């Protein structure tokens, strides 16, 4: 049967969260560096969308989050979009078991997804001749991004859930008849 289409309200909420996360990424998080590596909030958004909404919607949100990220990078346009799309789809594929579990499973899953995302970004970039993506300590880059993204998952996951929730009585967006 497939996934039902997104409502206009849901599209607006996703766009609003994307803008908020972009502003957070470009104004604050790029300055929070550990070993010259900063968190990737747009990757957290993509992974969270996969976890909350499943593989198809996660991939779509991941694609657009990656396109926005690509506007601020010197790598080939579309590299982040491809990477975020693929890892969001992968996270969405395991979402049914993760989202019903305890509160700490989302950050743990974002940690693993971030490690996968950063590694995939570098590998695909190297395939396209982006030698500048190699780093003296690639494991440190993966570790820093993964750990900081796991911490970011705690405040960002509620935003992602809100953005992708279906409007209706079960989500408090319409009044129920008495």
Please report the domains of the chain, with CATH numbers, ordered by start residue: 8-165 (1.10.1760.20)
pLDDT value at residue 40:
96
Tokens of 147: 């750990």
The whole-angstrom separation of Cα 174 and Cα 169 is 5
Q: What is the pLDDT of residue 168?
A: 58
Report the C-alpha gap between 178 and 162 in whole angstroms.
25
For the entire predicted model, the pTM comes to 0.88
d(CA 134, CA 65): 23
Which tokens is 153 given? 């998952």
- Position 131 scores a pLDDT of 84
CA distances from 113 to 44, 82, 88, 159 (A): 9, 14, 8, 18
* Tens place of pLDDT per residue across the chain (178 aa): 567 788 889 999 999 999 999 999 999 999 988 888 999 999 999 999 999 999 999 999 999 999 999 999 989 999 999 999 999 999 999 876 665 567 788 899 999 999 999 999 999 999 999 888 887 788 889 999 999 999 999 999 999 999 998 665 554 444 333 3
Check residue 134 and give its pLDDT.
81
């Amino acid at each position: 049967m497939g996934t039902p289409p997104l409502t206009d309200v849901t599209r607006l909420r996703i766009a609003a969260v994307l803008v908020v996360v972009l502003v957070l990424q470009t104004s604050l998080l790029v300055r929070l560096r550990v070993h010259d590596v900063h968190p990737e909030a747009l990757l957290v958004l993509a992974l969270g969308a996969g976890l909350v909404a499943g593989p198809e919607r996660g991939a779509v949100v991941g694609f657009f989050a990656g396109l926005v990220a690509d506007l601020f990078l010197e790598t080939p346009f579309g590299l982040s979009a491809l990477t975020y799309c693929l890892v969001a789809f992968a996270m969405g594929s395991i979402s049914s078991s993760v989202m019903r579990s305890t509160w700490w499973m989302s950050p743990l899953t974002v940690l693993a997804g971030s490690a996968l995302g950063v590694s995939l970004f570098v590998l695909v970039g190297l395939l396209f001749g982006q030698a500048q993506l190699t780093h003296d300590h690639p494991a440190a880059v993966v570790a820093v991004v993964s750990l900081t993204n796991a911490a970011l998952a705690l405040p960002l996951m509620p935003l992602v859930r809100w953005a992708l929730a279906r409007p209706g009585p079960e989500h408090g967006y319409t009044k129920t008849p008495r």
